[in-house]
Amino acid sequence: MLLTNAKIATMQAEGPYGLIPDGAIALDGERIAWVGPAQSVPQAWRGGGAAHDLGGRLVTPGLIDCHTHIVHGGNRAREFELRLQGASYAEISRAGGGIAATVAQTRAAHLEALVQSALPRVDALIAEGVTTLEVKSGYGLDIETEARMLRAARAIGHARAVTLRTSFLGAHAVPPEADGPDTYIDEVCLPALTAAHAEGLVDAVDGFCEGIAFTPDQIERVFTHARALGLPVKLHAEQLSHLGGAQLAARFGALSADHLEYATEADARAMAAAGSVAVILPGAFYTLRETQAPPIAAFRAHGVPMALATDCNPGSSPMTSLLLAMNMGATLFRLTPEECLAGVTRHAARALGLADRGVIAEGARSDLAIWDAEHPAELTYRIGFNPLWKRVFGGEL
């Protein structure tokens, strides 16, 4: 397939957006065979195969949502009301709401119910050009339900034209029946991780390092077990307070540390040295009405790659629009439109440990988004508007 008459935001390092104003892309099955200016199309691709004139439309890499909790039972609309009446996220959690409420609803849902309830949310992301999606467990907090959530995620990857990556998040919260966090980690979390990994359900291991969840020492035990299984790690860190999660993530060479509202310049230096991505999640910041913003300037200064994601979940970020996350990243945190687009393409791929996507380059996956737009900044600029024209997934238009 040859795509012609396109503005191509390759998201390669050279120049703003790596933009080719009048370009073409040659696709050979699931891989990009060539990309460049229209006048330089290789002779072998001229006049052969299926050619598509894109009418001057904008082409970007397929979008990547690298942090979601999109598989879950029920919703927490009532808690949304309580927060508006003044209750804090931590207060709701301590009263048995928050993650614990979703755990009860998720445990009660069978596999097919989890899949069917998640698919409309997944479809909303696909309709905005998403071609790769990360899904976490963490609403089971027992061995069987954690595995069921991950099986549901794998089933979604088979039911839809999207690459799906799973993260085991057993260290998300301490369930009410557990005899404390340490006993829960020993008797439930680590055995659940071992079982899910043996079933081929786990691509990475995550945790929630926070006062209402787990300490750095407790997360370190989970990460040590993940390392023994040969699994990469990532971490919810410094969201509501500063406990040292970002430094812990860096010490384990984590793919990413996520949220990071209370991260420091020292954390940014450590993450840069470790090559960890900072995943910025404006949906939770907005929903929880937080005021402490992530240290974007420090991440820039130290060269920490910044990804953006929806954090789609039933409590703190019930958002299924990656385009809205881009706008929020710019408006709330002053990311540039180019940083926002890199955050849902090149850097999001890195946050998932995927080196074959997120850019339009020879050898990369043929995952593309084609937009009714004249300039890449439009994708961040508009609010509540989806300019997607077509999506290419694995070379299929």
CB atoms within 10 A of CB 88: 13
**Helix H segments across the chain?**
77-84, 89-94, 99-107, 111-126, 143-159, 181-184, 190-198, 216-228, 245-251, 265-274, 282-287, 296-302, 322-333, 337-343, 346-351, 377-381
What span, in angstroms and rounded, lies between the C-alpha atoms of 397 and 395? 6
Quote the domain boundaries for residue 143: 63-351
Question: Do the domain assignments include residue 165?
Answer: yes
228 and 369 share one domain: no
Buried/exposed code over 169-181 (b: 16+ C-beta within 10 A; e: otherwise):
bbbbbbbeebeeb
159 and 18 share one domain: no
CATH code for the domain in which residue 49 is found: 2.30.40.10
52 and 176 share one domain: no
Question: Do the domain assignments include residue 376?
Answer: yes
34 and 93 share one domain: no
277 three-class SS? strand
Q: Which of 137, 56, 145, 41 is nearest to 373 (CA)?
A: 56
142 and 101 share one domain: yes
Whats the size of the chain, residue-wise?
Answer: 397
CATH code for the domain in which residue 175 is found: 3.20.20.140
Q: In tens digits, what is the pLDDT along the chain, a chain of 397 residues?
A: 999 999 999 999 777 999 999 999 999 999 999 999 999 999 989 876 689 999 999 999 999 999 999 999 999 988 888 888 998 877 887 777 888 889 999 999 999 999 999 999 999 999 999 999 999 999 999 999 999 999 999 999 999 999 999 999 999 999 999 999 999 999 999 999 999 999 999 999 999 999 999 999 999 999 999 999 999 999 999 999 999 999 999 999 999 999 999 999 999 999 999 999 999 999 999 998 899 999 999 999 999 999 999 999 999 999 999 999 999 999 999 999 999 999 999 999 999 999 999 999 999 999 999 999 999 999 999 999 999 999 999 999 9
Do residues 257 and 249 touch, judged by C-beta distance below 8 A? Answer: yes
Question: Do the domain assignments include residue 397?
Answer: no
Question: Do the domain assignments include residue 347?
Answer: yes
179 and 318 share one domain: yes
pLDDT at 294: 98
32 and 157 share one domain: no
What span, in angstroms and rounded, lies between the C-alpha atoms of 147 and 306? 30
What span, in angstroms and rounded, lies between the C-alpha atoms of 214 and 208? 6
Number of domains in the chain: 2
Give the torsion through C-alpha atoms of 96, 87, 289, 64, to 10 deg: 10
163 and 123 share one domain: yes
Question: Do the domain assignments include residue 217?
Answer: yes
Q: Which of 237, 281, 289 is nearest to 260 (CA)?
A: 237
32 and 47 share one domain: yes
Q: 133: which strand partners?
A: 65, 164
244 and 291 share one domain: yes
Do residues 259 and 239 touch, judged by C-beta distance below 8 A? Answer: yes
pTM equals 0.97
Backbone angles phi, psi at 53, to 5 degrees: -80, 120
Q: Which of 64, 14, 13, 55 is nearest to 367 (CA)?
A: 64
146 and 123 share one domain: yes
pLDDT at 48: 66
DSSP state for residue 187 in the 8-state scheme: I
Question: Do the domain assignments include residue 180?
Answer: yes
Q: Please report, for the chain, how many H helices and E strands are present, in that order.
A: 16, 15
CB atoms within 10 A of CB 338: 17
Do residues 74 and 314 touch, judged by C-beta distance below 8 A? Answer: yes
Question: Do the domain assignments include residue 161?
Answer: yes
Cα distances (angstroms) measured from residue 69 to each of 138, 172, 266, 370, 391: 8, 11, 29, 27, 23
What span, in angstroms and rounded, lies between the C-alpha atoms of 205 and 193? 8
380 and 344 share one domain: no
381 three-class SS? helix
